[in-house]
Structure 1
Amino acid sequence: MASFLRSHLAFAALLVLGVALRALAVLGYRPALWFWADSFAYLSSGLDLRPLASRPSGYSLFLWLLSPLRDIQAVVIVQHLLGIGIAVLVYVMLRRRTALRGWIAALVAAPILLDAHQIQLEHLMMADLLFTFLAVAGVAILVWRPKPSVTAATAALLLLALATVTRTIGLPLIVIAAVWLLLTRAGARALVSGVAAAAVVLGGYAVWFHSAHGSYGMGGSSTWLWSRTMTFADCAKMDPAPRLTPLCPTEPRLAAPAYIWDATSPLQRVGAKREELAGEFASLAIRSQPLDFLRTGLSDALWAFEWERRVYPSPGPQSAYVFPHSAKPFPDKIASAGRTATQLTTAYQGSSGETRVVEPWAGWLRAYQEQGYLRGPFLAVILLIGLGGLFVRRWAVIPPLAAAAALLFAPPMIAAFDHRYIVPVVPLACLAAGLALGARRSAAPDVQPDQRRKVSAADQAAHS
């Protein structure tokens, strides 16, 4: 036992610090932090058990599963435990698959345990933390062994499909997983079983969506992609049909999300067919200006590597993604499905879920968050270390590195840059970096039993 503790002492110390920071969040911000109005849309869907039209409802199902607790604070405690679980999973994975010393593996997992923005996302009633846990767990199972077994392939793709019905950005991760099964020659049974598991989850959700909305889908809005194209679209180059011209941008250009909500947005001029017309306009803009589309999305994604966190899209403190000095009371306006925020939270736990800021705990956490987060250049270094693993033929870095790249670049390409979208990138990047730094403990798992017999016979002949 003493030897075990010594071997994991560094990680245990970091784990205690991570738990303490999360305890400050639970004590200082009760019962949770809210993101208007997305949090309440998820909560409404969880209460009514009905898929949302505008976004996938995997997180709503999560809230429904926890509803017997009748406690919003219990939900965020579970989310904090999942956040700790991500760090533990990365650490255990590195100790199992590599020869890294314990303190190095602990250092690789440290950003997950100690990043203030990771902890804030765990405390927020949003889908991102659940998505991150499912995505990291799926990728970790995929690389648990050099060649995934049928059971591992099935479990991995099942988790990645669940991540996708939580946030649709998980769809590329399923493709990455399937390609990895082909690259490792895991076999037809593993590939078919994994893809079938993912298909059951995605297909089942599509059927549920159809039962509520009359069409098969995952939930989503074409207006997000349209808002992305509004930052570069040039109608002189596009030559849009007359029905699309009301959607053309005017100067000065707004930040992409502003085109969704701003009262002066062209979207407000097109009436009931806004989804159809926005989708058609976005498709035309991308086909007409593909290089502008790529340049805009990629340049925004690079903001993730800046030293200071860019406040986007508006100036001032980005209060939605930090622990605030004070919390505004719930407004009386409708939050979701004809109910106010107070009505929704009362229906879930029997009392209002308005955030209460409790000192001194909240103040200590705010002081920590001033510097206690992963700076952009360090994230770049972590990703580069993972990329370096390819040059030394440590192929296990491929799934986590590809997944991290997909989650880093896809959101700015199809919607907008948001620091909330960067948090899920970090654990996958850390996992890839750790696998790149540490050589395998043994080459034996890569050698099949019949090959080992041949090697043994060759060795005997060489020494006879």
Structure 2
Amino acid sequence: MTAAPARRLRAHWLLALLLLGGAVLRVLAQLAYRPALLYIDSFRYLDDLGVFFPGGINPIGYEVLLLGPLLLVGNLALVVAVQHLLGLALGVAIYALLLRFGARRWIAALAAAPVLLDAYQVQIEHNIMSDLLFQVLLLASIAVLTWRGAPGPRTAAIAGLLLAASVLVRLVGLTLVVPAVVFVLLATGLRPREGWRPRLRAAGALAGAFAGVLLCYATYHLIWTGTPALGGSTGSVVYGRTAAVARCDELGLTAEEAVVCPREPVAVRAERGIDFYIHFWHVPVNTDRLPEGFDLNAAQSGVARKVLLHQPFDVLGGFLNDFLKGFAPTRTQSPGDVPLARWQFTTDYPMYADPWYVAEWAELHGDGTVHADPRLGGLLRDYQLGGGYTPGLALGGCLLVSAAAVLGAGRARRSGLRAVVLLPAGLATTVLATAAAMEFSWRYQLPGLVLLPLAAGLAITAITGPRRPRSSESIT
């Protein structure tokens, strides 16, 4: 090793150790489960390849941007290998962003540790699913907006395109344009010397680029289905949360709405869980026995609207309870939650479809077999269940220290960093709240591993002062 690389390695030794640990975990996953892990959603993405039908439960961004291109040149093992490399790149990018704003190296490295070493993150990267790409797009939008100082219209428009792409990967990204626009408006403080007009132009460019992409996608959806939308049955998404608490006899439901309003006691619904009502429950018998022309989506949307109108506090209470679950000290689950075991390593190969169907996809994009190494899977499982994850209390602490910096604690008021702290903290709060509004799943907490430690690293730097003058233009 020459002198210059050796000096860089010594300077960034903690990040190098964390990267090594993260790489080992990902290599073990690659060897333990071949060619990849296939979850329920995986088959929806795979079935849609080459079709790109926009009317399904999931939008088509993952197939278009990552899954499809990689399967043109390789197999499922290549897809998850690239996803693991992107997972490592997330850690490096968090570290680089923090150094850009003057963070101490050890703080920057610790902020990168959750995404590098969290076993739930590694497990989701090994699935054929869109979650990792969603995280990458969110961090890329932060880097674009902050790297060169207060963003102008062109930079803001690029960030808007990235955020729109995140929506087409996971619909939960739809609300993230709000904290992004707020950041652009506040990027030079409440009293910008050049006036508000440049900030308004930049915010308009971001919102316009975001809306333009989604409008094009809604038009694509219209061409396929006859309805402008961003996804398939959106009624069932809102319906799941409201069906769990609906007092059907008090809502003045139409005949169609009454068909899809659950009649079992609320306690029974709590045991079944919101996920059951979103995906597996539609009518007391079977949707095939519905009258011809029955609009299930409209009926579910109608129930949801009336529950929100007449029982807002019941819905709000469930939402707040699920939002706070993500900050629990350990990975636990309540009755009705999406099973935590779905996101845990196992000693055998998990089957979420008939074995012949799984083998069919393995044949098409692999060697025709799926395999789990019980020894390596056991090592990963022991690590995961033995504490190899980021405690929710730590993430909650990240959010609190970020709030303190935004409010001007310590040296934050003069640091020029309050708005840049607000961006990842605002994105994290928004995406976690949007997910909780639908239902709670530990899978939906994973964007917090990227956003909250980054926000906390920026916040600590703002409160205590930077290690050195920042090379970028001041952002208030």
**C-alpha contact 2:15 2:109 (8 A) present in aligned 1:** yes
Matching residue of 1:455: none
* Aligned-partner residue type, residue 234 of structure 1: R
Shift of residue 315, structure 1, vs aligned partner = 8.6
Matching residue of 1:416: 439
Of 392, 402, 407, the residue aligned with 1:386 is 402
Deviates more, 1:78-87 or 1:175-184: 175-184
Of 368, 376, 379, the residue aligned with 1:364 is 379
The answer to whether 1:346 aligns with 2:363 is yes
**C-alpha contact 1:134 1:162 (8 A) present in aligned 2:** yes
* Aligned-partner residue type, residue 213 of structure 2: V
Aligned mates of 1:296, 1:188 — CA distance in 2? 37
Matching residue of 1:227: 240
Matching residue of 1:195: 207
Aligned mates of 1:64, 1:233 — CA distance in 2? 41
* Aligned-partner residue type, residue 260 of structure 2: L
* Aligned-partner residue type, residue 54 of structure 1: I
Shift of residue 446, structure 1, vs aligned partner = 5.5
Look up the SS of the partner of 1:278 in the other structure: helix
Look up the SS of the partner of 1:306 in the other structure: coil
**C-alpha contact 2:347 2:375 (8 A) present in aligned 1:** no
**C-alpha contact 1:53 1:213 (8 A) present in aligned 2:** no
Matching residue of 2:296: 274
Inter-CA distance 225–6: structure 2 relative to 1 (3 Å threshold):
same
Of 201, 212, 219, the residue aligned with 1:207 is 219
Inter-CA distance 398–84: structure 2 relative to 1 (3 Å threshold):
same
* Aligned-partner residue type, residue 256 of structure 2: R
**C-alpha contact 2:123 2:345 (8 A) present in aligned 1:** yes
**C-alpha contact 1:259 1:265 (8 A) present in aligned 2:** no
Regions of 4+ moved over 6 Å: none
The answer to whether 1:129 aligns with 2:132 is yes
Matching residue of 1:373: 389
**C-alpha contact 1:329 1:355 (8 A) present in aligned 2:** no
1:210-359 alignment, distance < 5 Å: 210-221=222-233, 222-249=235-262, 250-251=264-265, 252-253=268-269, 254-262=272-280, 266=284, 268=286, 271=290, 272-311=294-333, 318-328=340-350, 331-332=353-354, 340-347=357-364, 349=365, 351-352=367-368, 355-359=370-374
Matching residue of 2:153: 150
**C-alpha contact 2:236 2:297 (8 A) present in aligned 1:** yes
**C-alpha contact 1:257 1:313 (8 A) present in aligned 2:** no
**C-alpha contact 1:389 1:395 (8 A) present in aligned 2:** no
Shift of residue 447, structure 1, vs aligned partner = 6.5
Aligned mates of 2:16, 2:354 — CA distance in 1? 45
Of 42, 48, 73, the residue aligned with 2:51 is 48
Aligned mates of 2:302, 2:80 — CA distance in 1? 40
Aligned mates of 1:145, 1:231 — CA distance in 2? 47
**C-alpha contact 1:44 1:344 (8 A) present in aligned 2:** no
* Aligned-partner residue type, residue 66 of structure 1: L
RMSD (CA atoms): 2.5
**C-alpha contact 2:183 2:420 (8 A) present in aligned 1:** no
* CA deviation string 1:256-294 (max 9, x = no partner): 112245568548468342111001110111011112211
Matching residue of 1:140: 143
1:88-107 alignment, distance < 5 Å: 88-98=92-102, 100-107=103-110
Of 158, 162, 165, the residue aligned with 2:165 is 162
Aligned mates of 1:93, 1:287 — CA distance in 2? 44
**C-alpha contact 1:28 1:361 (8 A) present in aligned 2:** yes
Q: Percent identity?
A: 34
Look up the SS of the partner of 1:47 in the other structure: coil
* CA deviation string 1:2-29 (max 9, x = no partner): 4322221111111111111111111111
Aligned mates of 2:238, 2:330 — CA distance in 1? 27
Deviates more, 1:189-198 or 1:50-59: 189-198
How many residues end up aligned between the 2 structures? Answer: 438
**C-alpha contact 1:141 1:152 (8 A) present in aligned 2:** yes
* CA deviation string 1:68-90 (max 9, x = no partner): 22310000011111111111111
TM-score by structure 2 length? Answer: 0.85
Aligned mates of 2:358, 2:392 — CA distance in 1? 35
